[in-house]
Amino acid sequence: MTALQEAAPRPREGVRREALYFAVRNGKLLTGFGVVAVLLLAGLMGPLLTDVPPNQYGPRPMSPPSAEHWFGTTTFGQDVFTQFVHGLRSTFLVGAIGGGVAAVIGMFVGFVAGYRGGLVDEILSMLTNIVLVIPALAVLLIINAYLGLRSVALQGLFIGLTQWPWAARAIRAQTFSLRSREFVDLARMSGSGTLRIISREVAPNMSSYLFMTFILLFGGSILIASSLDFIGLGPTDAVSLGLMLQNATQWSALQLGMWWWFVPPGAAITAVVGALYVANVGLDEVFNPKLREL
Amino acid sequence: MRRYFFRKLLVYGLTFFVAVTVNWMIPRFMPGDPVAGMVARANVTQPQAVAAMRAYYTELFGFDRPLWQQYVNFWGAMLRGDFGLSIWLFPTPVSTVIGNAVPYTLALVVPSVLLSWVVGNWFGAYAARRRALDNTVLPVGYILTATPYMWLAVLLAWGLGVVAGWFPVAGGYSFALQPTWSATFLLNLVHHWTLPFLSLFLVALGGWAIGMRNMIIYELESDYANYLSALGAPARLIRRYAFRNAVLPQITGLALQLGVIVAGALVTEIVFAYPGLGSLILKAIQNQDFFLLQGTFLFIVLGVLIANFIIDIVYVVVDPRTRAGMAGANA
């Protein structure tokens, strides 16, 4: 046993170093995370640069992009750039909360169902399948309309509550394949509890998979949130990119040709989600030796 | 196979049960008094009128009866097709309002889902392992799947509708026309349908192409593909076998994506003011028409469940293993 424990840390460190070696050489990963980092920085720093509240009416409505208003102004003279950077913040926040909540529930359900098996698995899988089939946006519409949830955090929470099933299914399948491996048997024989085996033996061996699942949930949450905002159930305490799109179409930006109002928010959502997807493919190549391009 | 369908139907039945229960619970257990909320929204000030409205709404929801009876009554009314009266189009029954909108949504969703699936799979399979094509299909595919449905709709409406003037950007047909089966009207319908269809089709296309490309690459690396090529089988034949195997997960994927696609259709309809369920939802929210919202919700859930079941049947037809009862256990 002692020899095993001494030998154990070295390969793990080796794996990490190897992953890092391929990570910094992977174009997809770097581009993806680079785009996300730039937009995240814009969301974090942008609001600090402009001290104007995002919804404040200005004196020069409907003006195209200029040196003073980088992204132009809305029908009400609001500065589109200010709204844009504030909106980016909400987008990242909703993605982090929604993706985080969904990942935690999905991991819990997936690990327990996959590791325990039997009746527990039957019940949890049934629950997963039920939530999976119900169209998420329809449920969120009803909940939001009745409860009047109008903060970014609560929106993210409820999105997370509807997004977890596919993650749970995927994690369950992975856990299922790991649970009969020798090292898990060894841990079980040495008397470790379920929780300890899951957190020490099962989860670390699929950590890359879990991280990639979180990234996909993050992107999915952003897309769902933007749809909700667009239908008119967006946050009232903040600006979001979906809300900007909603306002632009509601106040006929299309017919008036005010492209600077509706192009940036949609482009930003596409860029964030698309970059996350591409980064995910890059991560897959880093962690999965079969896919590496040398 | 019987077991497979039994399990599927059980899940769908339970799902419908859960959806109806949620629908019943939310107005009753939300914080605050729903009746007071609805009366307040009506902006009536006369005390008699307020009292009359209170009585009307209490009676309508049956709040004065025990909870279990309210629940049973709710199911009873629903099974009779009674979803209440729409407030937005008072006094039209909600079922009629929805019935008028459903054909438009179906006409939009069904062709765009099927066509994007077929074309996407074809593109993806063709691009896999062809470097030059792969390098263009892959980035375009990722951009398309990451695009919010309403944004592409807005861009198309602006570019092809407002700027180029090729297509109308609002409504299901011109308001100057009366709905008839004449050629002019049908042509007008198609003209209004084109842009919403195109935008739904394009966003969904990217995902299918990427999925198929990845599956084909995975299949081409599998043992049977290696074995076939070692035997000297032509590449075309190997690709055909790979395609057949790769289509199966794509069918499952179609079932999983239905919710997302329906959500996309709703927001796309809103952009184009297309008179389907999406526009109904918008009107219901703007007019605080909760009966209409709840009715639409149930209708969407029911539609997705039926579509899921159809996909299950297709899966059994396509995959012989389910018929032999092998894959039923983990379905």
Average the pLDDT over B229-238 and give the result. Answer: 90
How many residue pairs from chains A and B have C-beta atoms closer than 8 A? Answer: 155
B271:A255 CB<8 A: no
Look at residue A266 and tell me if it is in a domain.
yes
CA distance A8 to A3: 9
Burial (CB count within 10 angstroms: exposed 0-12, middle 13-18, buried 19+), residue A98 = buried
Given this model, what pLDDT does residue A2 score?
40
Candidates B30, B143, B263; nearest CB to A227: B263
Candidates B263, B286, B294; nearest CB to A135: B263
Average the pLDDT over A188-196 and give the result. Answer: 86
- Mean of all residue pLDDT scores within chain B: 85
Average the pLDDT over B22-44 and give the result. Answer: 70
CA distance B197 to B300: 19
Given this model, what pLDDT does residue A102 score?
96
Candidates B143, B152, B281; nearest CB to A274: B143
Q: Considering chain A, what percentage of its residues have pLDDT values greater than 90?
A: 37
Domain residue ranges of chain B, discontinuous segments joined by +: 2-28+106-330
Q: If you write DSSP's letter for every residue of B272-301 in order, what string do you get?
A: TT-TTHHHHHHHHHHTT-HHHHHHHHHHHH
Residue A138 clears pLDDT 90, i.e. is over it: no
Residue A247 clears pLDDT 80, i.e. is over it: yes
* Least confident stretch, A1-15, A167-181, B32-46, B256-270: A1-15
**Interface confidence (ipTM) of the complex:** 0.85
Residue A5 clears pLDDT 70, i.e. is over it: no
Torsion angle, alpha carbons of A277, B267, A254, A80, to 10: -60
Given this model, what pLDDT does residue B231 score?
93
Given this model, what pLDDT does residue B38 score?
67
Average the pLDDT over A150-177 and give the result. Answer: 90
Cα distances from A53 to residues A72, A81, A89, A164, B280, in angstroms, run: 16, 11, 14, 35, 33
Domain that holds residue A179: 27-49+71-291
- Chain B nearest-CA residue for A258: B158
What b-and-e string marks burial along B121-140, b requiring 16 or more CB atoms within 10 Å of the CB? bebbbbbbeeeeebeebbeb
Average the pLDDT over A110-125 and give the result. Answer: 90
Residue B47 clears pLDDT 80, i.e. is over it: no
Containing B312, the helix (H) or strand (E) segment is helix B290-318
Q: A194: domain CATH number?
A: 1.10.3720.10
Average the pLDDT over B64-87 and give the result. Answer: 81
Residue A215 clears pLDDT 90, i.e. is over it: yes
Angle between helices B235-271 and B183-220 (to 10 degrees): 140
Residue A113 clears pLDDT 70, i.e. is over it: yes
CA distance B29 to B99: 29
Q: What is the pLDDT of residues B141-189, one digit of tens each?
A: 999 999 999 999 999 999 998 888 888 888 888 877 777 778 888 888 8
Look at residue A12 and tell me if it is in a domain.
no
Given this model, what pLDDT does residue A263 score?
93
Q: Which of residues 104-143 of A touch B (CB under 8 A)?
A: 126, 129-130, 132-139, 141-143
Given this model, what pLDDT does residue B85 score?
78
Q: Considering chain B, what percentage of its residues have pLDDT values greater than 90?
A: 31
Q: What is the pLDDT of residues A12-61, one digit of tens each?
A: 667 777 778 877 778 888 999 999 999 999 988 888 887 777 877 777 77
Residue A133 clears pLDDT 80, i.e. is over it: yes
Name the band, by pLDDT with cuts 50, 70 and 90, for residue B327. Answer: very low
- Contact residues on chain A for B296, CB-CB shorter than 8 A: 138
- Of B37 and A16, the structure prediction assigns the larger pLDDT to A16
The CATH code of domain B2-28+106-330 reads 1.10.3720.10
B300:A277 CB<8 A: no
Q: Considering chain B, what percentage of its residues have pLDDT values greater than 70?
A: 92
- Mean of all residue pLDDT scores within chain A: 85
Containing A241, the helix (H) or strand (E) segment is helix A241-250
Residue among B38, B113, B149, B158 with most chain A CBs within 10 A, to mutate: B158
B259:A136 CB<8 A: yes
Look at residue A56 and tell me if it is in a domain.
no
Cα distances from A41 to residues A187, A215, A253, in angstroms, run: 44, 18, 28
Residue B68 clears pLDDT 70, i.e. is over it: yes
A142:B148 CB<8 A: no
Residue A99 clears pLDDT 70, i.e. is over it: yes
| Highest-pLDDT range among A31-45, A135-149, A192-206, A228-242 | A31-45
Residue A8 clears pLDDT 50, i.e. is over it: no
Average the pLDDT over B249-273 and give the result. Answer: 91
Name the band, by pLDDT with cuts 50, 70 and 90, for residue B328. Answer: very low
Residue B59 clears pLDDT 80, i.e. is over it: no
A274:B169 CB<8 A: no
The secondary structure of residue B118, as a DSSP letter, is H
Residue among B142, B266, B271, B274 with most chain A CBs within 10 A, to mutate: B142
Instruction: Give the distance from residue B135's alpha carbon to the nearest chain A alpha carbon, in angstroms.
Output: 12
Name the band, by pLDDT with cuts 50, 70 and 90, for residue B330. Answer: very low
In angstroms and rounded to an integer, the radius of gyration of the C-alpha atoms of chain B is 24
Candidates A147, A231, A277; nearest CB to B146: A277
Instruction: Give the distance from residue A254's alpha carbon to the nearest chain B alpha carbon, in angstroms.
Output: 6
- Of B31 and A261, the structure prediction assigns the larger pLDDT to A261
- Of B328 and B110, the structure prediction assigns the larger pLDDT to B110
